[in-house]
């Protein structure tokens, strides 16, 4: 499903920085990132207590709404159970990615996602695709991009503005239905999209964005050095957000 672009994306660094800076002015968002990062500093997936805490933290701070699902009243409990049962498989996949980059070998990351994502996707009736991407992103932040309705809307806007060919476009809406294959295929496109984006940066632009993101985080006691996938997710999140949502958020800072 994944295809590499024939030519690099045209990137507007000023626009990317502008939206990252707006994100970083939100005390709420920075606090959420800070708390999540602190928890995942030593993410021992073999530890049942820490795994349970990871699931609850992602659901609570990242609004994946496992608690609110009427169809899956025990969704959190079931996901924790499946993660514990399959931790050998998950660790095996994580370890295989240690020397892999999303720019150099997106296919390897795709293969890993096809092995570990079903552990979460098959655990509940609602599949919880966005939750899976957020959980595994924080376990492996250099490999697994985040997917939610706001960031994918931003990606859709980004691709439409650059007249991306149809076969490589990310659909504006999240995949639905009972079949997990459409989620896995969608995530394959997401992985290759981020690989293409990162391969489109020139010279020292990635390092420049890493430094800019860190420098613009306020207050200073919530600063953290993000990986580039998290920084790009901030950009697409802000690009896809409604104007009203952003204004309301900034009123809370």
Percentage, residues of the chain above pLDDT 90: 71
Phi and psi, residue 226, nearest 5°: -80, 160
Residues 145-182: pLDDT tens digits? 999 999 999 999 999 888 777 777 898 899 988 899 99
Q: What is the pLDDT of residue 209?
A: 98
CA distance between the termini of the chain: 41
- Of 1-10, 198-207, 225-234, least confident by mean pLDDT is 1-10
- Of 5-9, 75-79, 100-104, 120-124, least confident by mean pLDDT is 5-9
Q: Where are the domains of the chain?
A: 13-250
Q: How does residue 5 score in pLDDT terms, banded at 50, 70 and 90?
A: low
Q: What is the pLDDT of residue 41?
A: 87
Q: Say how far apart CA 147 and CA 187 lie, in whole Å.
A: 8
Residues 18-45: pLDDT tens digits? 999 999 999 999 999 999 999 998 768 8
- Under a CB-based contact definition with an 8 Å cutoff, are residues 107 and 4 in contact? no
Q: What is the pLDDT of residue 250?
A: 36
Give the count of beta carbons closer than 10 Å to the beta carbon of residue 75.
Answer: 23
Whole-number mean pLDDT of the chain? Answer: 89
- Is 6 a residue whose pLDDT tops 60? no
Q: How does residue 251 score in pLDDT terms, banded at 50, 70 and 90?
A: very low
List, in order, residues 6 or more apart from 142 with CB less than 8 Å away: 101, 102, 227, 228, 229
Residues 110-130: pLDDT tens digits? 999 999 999 999 998 889 999
């Amino acid at each position: 499903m994944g295809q590499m672009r024939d030519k690099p994306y045209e990137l507007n660094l000023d626009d990317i920085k502008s939206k990252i800076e707006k994100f970083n002015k939100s005390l709420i968002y920075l606090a959420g990132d800070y708390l999540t990062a602190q928890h995942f500093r030593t993410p021992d997936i073999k530890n049942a207590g820490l795994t349970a805490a990871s699931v609850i933290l992602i659901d609570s701070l990242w609004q994946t709404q496992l608690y609110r699902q009427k169809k899956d009243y025990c969704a959190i409990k079931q996901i924790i159970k499946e993660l514990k049962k399959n931790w050998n498989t998950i660790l095996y996949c994580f370890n295989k990615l240690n020397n892999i980059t999303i720019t150099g070998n997106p296919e390897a990351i795709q293969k890993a996602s096809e092995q570990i994502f079903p552990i979460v996707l098959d655990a509940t009736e609602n599949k919880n695709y966005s939750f899976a991407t957020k959980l595994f992103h924080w376990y492996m932040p250099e490999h697994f991009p985040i997917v939610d309705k706001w960031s994918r809307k931003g990606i859709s806007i980004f691709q439409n503005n650059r007249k991306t060919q149809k076969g490589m476009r990310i659909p504006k809406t999240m995949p639905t239905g009972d079949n997990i294959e459409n989620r896995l295929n969608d995530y394959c496109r997401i992985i290759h999209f981020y690989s293409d984006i990162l391969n489109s940066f020139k010279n020292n632009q990635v390092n420049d964005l890493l430094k800019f993101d860190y420098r613009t985080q306020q207050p200073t006691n919530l600063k953290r050095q993000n990986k580039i996938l998290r920084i790009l997710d901030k950009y697409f999140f802000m690009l896809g957000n409604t104007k009203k949502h952003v204004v309301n958020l900034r009123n809370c800072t």
